[in-house]
Structure 1
């Protein structure tokens, strides 16, 4: 069948609702090339600077997740003040028509064009009989819509279980390993440290079970990890970091490498200890508990 099946959205995090949209595109337009149209930077950062949300995925992650979810092509609209002033008709003519869509699918809350004037009904009016436009009801979980906003709130509260159910996968945080305080190595539990940019979401401060994936080098692969999110209150830290100890390994050389940290389960909240011995004893308990969680 000629023509593409186009889905449109910000797709931050590529959660279960986003994946359902891609599934329907392939299901309702068999044989068509599925194209995901998205935006970078986040439109809110352009329309209301300072009000933008913490992001659940960076552009590279989002591209990979969309393709894994069924997109054959990902088109990124470089969102700008100029584009924010486009009318719905301009958006359709400049972005969508060149993709030769046979079908366009959007979530039922989708808006576009200057002052969010366009809706799915607008798309249908602008395309007429040449393109089928579908407004897809939002996916639901526990009686509430699945949304990136809801996932961010769950992560901030440390409710990893809910966040992961909404995502349909473990939450992942990606970055380049930086040199930390080297304190973990001195304590017998070296960590790979990632700084937390203001623009990105991470789970609430605490200890988590998960996996650390190294993208390149001799230690490339997926490793079991004990993960700490926070500021190291025992040592009066102020910089928020994601610190991952690869369980059973003290020989990894990860500085300067890109890694992805996958959060599987919450273990406990962050605690300020009165001495190093108490901290080390707790880390040993945490690592053993996390080892069992990941094996189970």
Structure 2
């Protein structure tokens, strides 16, 4: 898959052939997005044309609603990896600037879709490309003027609710990792590098790998989780704490620390990925490190039993 950072105005012939163009922001590349891309991929295969997905470098709300603290399910790199796995040929990343946010629906069609040489545009029923009362999917044929075909994909639901990135972000923030899995179609992941901590876990027999992560990512709510953690290309069952280290009284910032089962190496600076499975309990301030150690033993036994049950069902 080729990643192309689009200029605006878009230059003609960035892609040498006509394309099947999928439009959306695609945060999380959840089950609804996957369905949308599958519909487009089938069209691309039938027409023997490349499949292109267009997204933005930031969520539009950061610009038009000044939501500068907006949190994402995926980084751009994570989104790109998922798109490649879905068989996308081109990922087009457009800069969502204040100027871009003010273009009209007709300008978007003329200066983006047409310039990209789209044969067919595929988008969800609620996709907008300007003021939503005007620049919506119902009005797209009027702006298109028969220069490309349009496929509007219906709402995708799970247990009666729309599958959407907003709902998934809320689930992650609430520690509802199983709901996030049901809507994403995969476990939520956070990646980064292993940073230096206070080594309090080492002192009580529970060494941890401390994640240094992209601060734009959604962070699960404070507490302890059943997770899997990847270091040096290998996944380990693990338990992960999201919290303020209340017992040891460290500075007031959130730490994400994973204790990997059957892992005993120094790995500072290495890449690390956490896959989130289940929230098990909230953060507690213990009277001593001994009390914390006893609780961590209970946590470990509970989480090992949880993964053993999952493995038994495979």
TM-score with structure 2 length normalisation?
0.85
* 2:237 corresponds to 1:206: no
**Which residue of 118, 137, 143 corresponds with 1:126?**
143
* 2:300 corresponds to 1:287: yes
* Preserved contact between residue 44 and residue 52 of structure 1 (Cα < 8 Å): no
* 2:44 corresponds to 1:23: no
CA distance in 1, matches of 2:233, 2:127: 40
* Preserved contact between residue 105 and residue 134 of structure 2 (Cα < 8 Å): yes
1:150 is displaced (CA, Å) by: 0.5
Q: 2:5 aligns to what?
A: none
Helix, strand or coil at the partner of 1:89: helix
Q: 2:7 aligns to what?
A: none
With 203-212 and 143-152 compared, the bigger mean Cα shift is at 203-212
With 60-69 and 13-22 compared, the bigger mean Cα shift is at 60-69
Deviation string 1:191-249 (CA, Å, 9 cap, x unpaired) is: 111246653212211111121123xxxx3322222111111222234211211111121
* Preserved contact between residue 33 and residue 72 of structure 1 (Cα < 8 Å): yes
Q: 1:6 aligns to what?
A: 21
Q: 1:258 aligns to what?
A: 271
**Which residue of 235, 240, 251 corresponds with 1:227?**
240
* 2:74 corresponds to 1:57: yes
Helix, strand or coil at the partner of 1:265: strand
With 31-40 and 286-295 compared, the bigger mean Cα shift is at 286-295
Deviation string 1:92-151 (CA, Å, 9 cap, x unpaired) is: 233222332221111111111367741113332222333221221221011110111111
Which runs of 5 or more structure 1 residues have no equivalent in the other structure? none
With 50-59 and 154-163 compared, the bigger mean Cα shift is at 50-59
* 2:54 corresponds to 1:37: yes
With 122-131 and 156-165 compared, the bigger mean Cα shift is at 122-131
Deviation string 1:149-187 (CA, Å, 9 cap, x unpaired) is: 111111122111111111111000122222111111222
Helix, strand or coil at the partner of 1:56: coil
With 276-285 and 10-19 compared, the bigger mean Cα shift is at 276-285
Q: 1:81 aligns to what?
A: 98
* Preserved contact between residue 190 and residue 213 of structure 2 (Cα < 8 Å): no
CA distance in 1, matches of 2:230, 2:144: 44
1:51 is displaced (CA, Å) by: 6.0
* Preserved contact between residue 120 and residue 134 of structure 1 (Cα < 8 Å): no
What does residue range 181-196 of structure 1 map to in structure 2 within 5 Å?
A: 181-195=198-212
CA distance in 2, matches of 1:265, 1:232: 20
CA distance in 1, matches of 2:40, 2:185: 19
Comparing both structures, which one devotes a greater share of its residues to helix?
1
* Preserved contact between residue 192 and residue 214 of structure 2 (Cα < 8 Å): no
Q: Alignment length, in residue pairs?
A: 290
Deviation string 1:72-93 (CA, Å, 9 cap, x unpaired) is: 2110001111111222222223
TM-score with structure 1 length normalisation?
0.90
Structure 1 runs, 4 residues or longer, greater than 4 Å off: 195-198
Aligned CA-pair RMSD? 2.0
Q: 2:3 aligns to what?
A: none
CA distance in 2, matches of 1:134, 1:175: 38
With 54-63 and 20-29 compared, the bigger mean Cα shift is at 20-29
* Preserved contact between residue 71 and residue 218 of structure 2 (Cα < 8 Å): yes
CA distance in 2, matches of 1:271, 1:224: 23
